[in-house]
Structure 1
């Protein structure tokens, strides 16, 4: 006669009542292993429910015997295996990280069932950590990998409760009892990178870097049509082990710069170079996270590894993802991550240099001059051309009237101009003939009041131009004053229309 979960729980309770005050992990594991069937979903759920009810009432650090220690390690190995997201979530993962609402789709019944199993597995891991702390487990690498897979709430397999449990267990392992940062888990994180993450991204070849994570000064030429880039087998992190990017993101939030640098660079570049926009966005966001401790620690590792140009070459193609080929929502999402990432790369590369390095360079090639040249190049070859590309100009009554079919993206690009101008400073004067036209076009647009953020961004940019280039701005006073007056007039007309409509019964 087949035993139900209730019968199994009753047997375990009777055993523990006769054996002592606390349940036996050894008995629990023997019961689970005798009923384990990785193919049968219902059997796995049954085992998880039994483990949850047995482990929930346990107090902390109750494991003492060798049998229970072995059982705890076996339970950790079992839970780490069944709590790892699988390839079935690959399609829904890309949609989950896209801002394009047309790609969003509800989870299928199969995926919802898998989500329930994964959530229950993480909950049981939390209870097991109370009884036998994770930092003492033999297979901590596998368990940390599984838990770190649930640290992003945007993942389709993660719920808010599951994420909270996973982060709580991971933080308890990273922090010792006295509140100081625990060092015992740092080797585990390095092992996770080396044994679990690096092999997944190693199949995505990038000739721009060496195996040591440095710039390859003699890269082999890429074929014109590289069909390997479309092969799913070269991207197991995308189509198979879908948890890899989330684990990488969690590790990036606490990595050691010098020790983990070569392990992180190939994975980040693989994400940025991917053809899927949601993965490009994650790659750009991870690059910004990756650069934060370099900036805070004034590290010169980008100079020593010559990787700044590699990151720049990877990021620049992202700026071509603009309408009409790319939807506005996805374009905003990608450009909003790519522009800050590139600016961070340039700042760290040319502003973190030591005084000795600056003295060794020629006067005309100082880091400041090179930095300004790169920023100006972004402004002139990416931001301003993109603004003109997404704006349409029509002829009406012998005048050119620019319209903005993508007002949110136009607003974003004006904000990027406003971000880059303070970096240029007085050098803004060199590029007034390129900066003034888009600003005046936005200000003078008769339909500007329909999207106020566009006008606000244009006014802020005009103010920044005036402050930066005041010695030469007088030459453009006619264009600027005319555009500002047009803007004022259009806003007043819009207000009058609102007042008239309000007076109507």
Structure 2
């Protein structure tokens, strides 16, 4: 044993994290059988107060080598089992992520989910120790299952802390080892016992951590507080680190919660309905935090929480009145826009906040996932409430946010009333067009009532002469156009002039710029835009065929673009456009051989 320790001591002096898999190869082990009791006796004699020093790493490397070479499947004596449990406890204590990673944790989740490029020497040393300890736990689990530990909550909490590759204390090796251990625990024959332990982790470890963050919107049982006490205008405790140990001290708590929530499926709905009070306070605490990185994690956890509830068609949100609580918590997240919020940060947060809110509404009102547009639910009252909330989201958030991030500037000094969207944040503008398309599909035929607000957004996007600089923006605009035509076709003829003008202007701009485009990728994107424009024209023609001449009589027609008489038909109008500009022929005369399921033309 001492020879092995001496060899481990020499290796650890020059050891590097990337060499962990081969770290023990230079340590001569021999064929001598060393029991777990003897191993723990030796290790416990060399324990030190320094949990991340060379002596600790020496103990860990020694333990790793012996556990890796220990025969598996061999019945253990009771003394060996007790020693294994003691080793589990020791490994859990020295590998629980420390509060020193708090700053790096927030930085990681603020940078599009990527990991911070560099850590301090102290944090790198801790990271190395953690990786060794989790590796030891993996090998020990092969000898004596982690489920056999007397008090497994502490060990499970530590293992669960290493399940996210985005956390600064993890490495690819530690994440892989931790997930391997947990996968073995969640096997069908072990799953019930594992769920029991996870419930105890939530009760004894997670609940006290989040209990200090008070939320007046919910009761102690996790339900909506129907009689909340009035709150002071300014609450100084919001900025007190002591009220948020999950953010400044117990940094692993959110990761543990994230993995546990991801294990629920629709078949576990009974268990989730019993245990939901463990998860609601942490989710709301994260969403209400002032940091967008923790808001992002809160929204992600909410999606994981709601997914099995929706899949099982449970009425948990209605029984607990939590739908409005989640709605109220998520709505402020939708205001995270430039210039106060940087574009990258806004995209990341909004990209999860909108889906979380939509999932909340669908889960509450039992909106049928397979329903046709305009028929979102079976219950008429629930359907009407759902449509009302989606309409508010469309008008007050998506469209208004689109206009906010797409600033306007005068097109000329002479005509100052004319304006042109400059799209200083093209990715955000594209994002809001995608959300607009999604909400249009949810509204279905109800979209007809809001065409006067939706069509200007489409026109502004497609007619912009600089749109070819960012092709995804044009593609999102065309996809929204097609969604509008498909869902509001009974009334789309009223806006045929605006839509056709925008489509034609976009076609002319793309054809003009495609010739001079040198980048093959951008050229390919513009060619895709042209095909989608043809698809939009085809759909517009189909919608016009459904409009009767009596409906169109006396209404504005393509005269709005100064091309044809008011009483002219759609076909005559298109013919006039082709005659006035030959390059529109390929766009407007798309009639034959188009398949509505063809991805080339439709999106």
**What is the TM-score of this pair, normalised by structure 1?**
0.91
Partner of residue 257, structure 2 = 248
Q: CA deviation at 1:182?
A: 2.4
Matches within 5 A, 1:63-74: 64-74=76-86
Partner of residue 106, structure 2 = 94
- From 191, 204, 216, the equivalent of 2:200 is 191
- Higher relative contact order structure (alpha carbons within 8 Å, sequence separation ≥ 6): 1
Query: Any conservation in 1 of the 2:9–2:58 contact (CA below 8 Å)?
Result: no
Which segments of 5 or more consecutive residues in structure 1 lack a partner in the other structure? Answer: 11-15, 354-362
Partner of residue 451, structure 2 = 432
Q: CA deviation at 1:181?
A: 5.6
Deviations 1:90-112 (CA, angstroms, capped at 9, x unpaired):
00001111236999551111111
Deviations 1:419-441 (CA, angstroms, capped at 9, x unpaired):
01111011001111111111110
Partner of residue 333, structure 1 = 348
Larger Rg: 2
Cα separation, 1, equivalents of 2:249 and 2:519: 61
Query: Any conservation in 1 of the 2:330–2:357 contact (CA below 8 Å)?
Result: yes
- From 283, 290, 302, the equivalent of 1:275 is 290
Partner of residue 289, structure 1 = 304
Partner of residue 542, structure 2 = none
**SS of residue in 1 equivalent to 2:458:** helix
- From 107, 117, 130, the equivalent of 1:118 is 130
Partner of residue 316, structure 2 = 301
Query: Any conservation in 1 of the 2:365–2:383 contact (CA below 8 Å)?
Result: yes
- From 468, 475, 485, the equivalent of 2:504 is 485
| Consecutive aligned runs of 4 or more in structure 1 exceeding 3 Å deviation | 7-10, 100-105
Deviations 1:232-263 (CA, angstroms, capped at 9, x unpaired):
11110110011100000000011431122111
Asked if 1:77 corresponds to 2:89, the answer is yes
**SS of residue in 1 equivalent to 2:517:** helix
- Point out the more displaced range, 38-47 or 97-106: 97-106
- Point out the more displaced range, 134-143 or 149-158: 134-143
Which segments of 5 or more consecutive residues in structure 2 lack a partner in the other structure? Answer: 11-28, 265-270, 369-377, 521-603
Asked if 1:33 corresponds to 2:52, the answer is no
Q: CA deviation at 1:498?
A: 2.8
Query: Any conservation in 1 of the 2:115–2:168 contact (CA below 8 Å)?
Result: no
Q: CA deviation at 1:3?
A: 9.2
Query: Any conservation in 1 of the 2:8–2:58 contact (CA below 8 Å)?
Result: no
Cα pair distance change 1:9/1:414, threshold 3 Å: closer
How many residue pairs get aligned? The number is 481
Q: CA deviation at 1:68?
A: 1.0
Asked if 1:445 corresponds to 2:455, the answer is no
Partner of residue 13, structure 1 = none
Q: CA deviation at 1:7?
A: 6.9
Matches within 5 A, 1:170-249: 170-175=182-187, 179-180=188-189, 182-249=191-258
**SS of residue in 2 equivalent to 1:210:** coil
Cα separation, 2, equivalents of 1:306 and 1:410: 34
Deviations 1:189-215 (CA, angstroms, capped at 9, x unpaired):
000001111111111100100111100
Deviations 1:305-353 (CA, angstroms, capped at 9, x unpaired):
0000000000000011000110000000000000000000000101269
- Point out the more displaced range, 409-418 or 89-98: 89-98
Query: Any conservation in 2 of the 1:100–1:327 contact (CA below 8 Å)?
Result: no
**SS of residue in 2 equivalent to 1:215:** coil
Query: Any conservation in 2 of the 1:98–1:330 contact (CA below 8 Å)?
Result: yes
Q: CA deviation at 1:65?
A: 1.6
Cα separation, 1, equivalents of 2:425 and 2:343: 7
